[in-house]
Amino acid sequence: MIFEGWAVIGVIVCCLVLLISTTLSVDLVLFGGLSLLFIAGIVPVENALSGFSNEGMLTIAALYVVAAGLKETGAIQVIVQRVMGRTRTVKKAQLRIMAPTMVMSAFLNNTPVVASFIPALERWSKKVSIPVSKILIPLSYSAILGGTCTLIGTSTNLIINGLLIEEASIRSLGIFEPALIGIPCAIAGFIYLAIFGDKLLPERGSSMEIFEDPREYTIEMIVGKGSNLANQTIENAGLRQLPGLYLAEIQRKERTIPAVGPYEMLKTGDRLIFTGIIDSIVDLQKMPGLNPATKQVFELNAPRNERQMIEAVVSRSNPIIGGTIKERKFRDRYDAVVLAVSRNGERVHEKIGDIVLKSGDVLLLESMPNFIKKYRNSNDFYLVSPIEDSSPVSTKKAGIAGFTLFGMVALAATGVLSMFQAAIVAGAVLLITRCFRYATALESIDWRVLLAIASSLGLGEALKITGVAEHLASGLLGMAGDSPVMALFLTYIATWLLTELITNNAAAVLIFPIAFSLATSMGLNFVPFAIVMIIAASSSFSTPIGYQTNLMIYGPGGYRYTDFIKIGLPLNLIVAAITVSLVPQFWEF
């Protein structure tokens, strides 16, 4: 092997050591390694930058925009709420998320499934006080396992099938043919995660950390007409034991219900009085079926998903001091609506419009983002600060978002458009129908994940052009001798190792010609090898960099590199054993 090849191996080993032993981010380490190879002249510029124009990476970027549409319209929150229900334990939460994710990922590309669920599960985990690190790895792993069950579950399956037809001149695989191995692997993975998921996964990013802020607000919400919460009990509606939030009372016409019990039935028009911290108030605003009790919210001249929640401290010189919010026409004066008031930890008993404001009151406002620029240096307020990820959710366009997602999948699955083209069309439809703002679309893209994917593709290209990948794969497969089962096993190992080091698609493309040559020289049917590659290329459980869904959850879950090794390596061995033992039973050599 040439010097450049050893240099590439050295850089990749250094990257792996840094990822395992430090807290440096994946994107920084991988981009640093790629930059080093480029600066040293080992990798030409066109190869180093190939990952940044890769269709798979760009498809993920477009899918982030589609996922933002599902999030902003409340569609995915509704799905998650129905799937997760009133789960309160880690094990039940894992089971509830894994089963539907596996089924959905078998028929949808698993990348948009994970991209759509991540923000909704982050919010749900805060609500039920379950660390998000306990559920995001099961989300990714179940999506990966579900994707192996059909030909359209992941792009790798389609790539291998295309190579099977074009390069090997062999029949196309049936859409459910991979399920003969994929389903047993998915069942085994489900059982493994159900038994060991809670024990082996770390407890990080706990939502309880947000409750250190003692500032509390009092806010009124109303059960609107046609609300799905009407005629449900407080407990069934998910309004009991909300973390950081307390349901103080219900006002029903002229009647006040204090000390609300879990079996109290909600009615249309009920006014619910909550006391809680800011993060919980933000979550409450996004709960389907509840609306702010003040009608002023619906009189602002902008769709709710284009607004922002802001905290503002009333100054001594503010002209509204001494009068009620309604009398002093707060909305007309500031083009903002007061949702809640915090006053030195005291509960403010009056309705929002009847509150007489005092200096030092902290107001939770809903307004357009330009409110900050306009009043940040105003004498009316001591402090004006935005609340991140607080745009109110309106579910009026949830149907549009859901139909758009279905259309995107249908176009891609039928081959009318590529996944990339279908994702771009879906994103454009969501923007045109104003399911979210253009700025929100840009903000929704996780650029660090894309940088990590593009850099890993560049490193994969370095392995390829220097001959390292072919050298390593040929060495492994050359050990097969005359044993077909050993040849299958080594094909699996080679594909899996390259998947963990680079990416699943790159690994499949690199191993395919070598495995085909081996099968031909041994006089064997190549279809079993293709099935093994489909499973192995998707079985990236031991590192966060081999599969895009692992990279997507790496940051939000607060994971470390070793977390994937700890829980993923045993799963890799389980899937390998099932695949290599079952493939010869269903396909003849």
Say how far apart CA 426 and CA 539 lie, in whole Å. Answer: 29
pLDDT tens digits, one per residue of 415-442? 788 778 888 998 899 889 888 778 777 8
* Cβ-count burial 523-557 (b if 16+ within 10 Å, e if not): ebebbbbbbbbbbbbbbbbbbbbbbbbbbbbbbbb
Going from the N-terminus, what domains does the chain have, and what CATH number goes with each? 74-204+466-586 (no CATH), 213-386 (3.30.70.1450)
Coil vs helix vs strand at 164? helix
Q: What confidence score (pLDDT) does residue 207 get?
A: 36
pLDDT tens digits, one per residue of 87-144? 778 888 889 889 888 988 887 667 777 877 887 788 778 777 788 899 999 999 999 9
Say how far apart CA 172 and CA 410 lie, in whole Å. Answer: 20
Asked if 531 and 181 touch (Cβ cutoff 8 Å), the reply is yes
Q: What confidence score (pLDDT) does residue 168 get?
A: 65
Positions of the chain with pLDDT under 70: 1, 56, 76-78, 81, 85-86, 108-109, 167-168, 205-215, 241, 243, 295-306, 345-347, 388-395, 469, 473, 476-477, 502-503
- Burial label, 398 (beta-carbon count in 10 A; 0-12, 13-18, 19+): buried
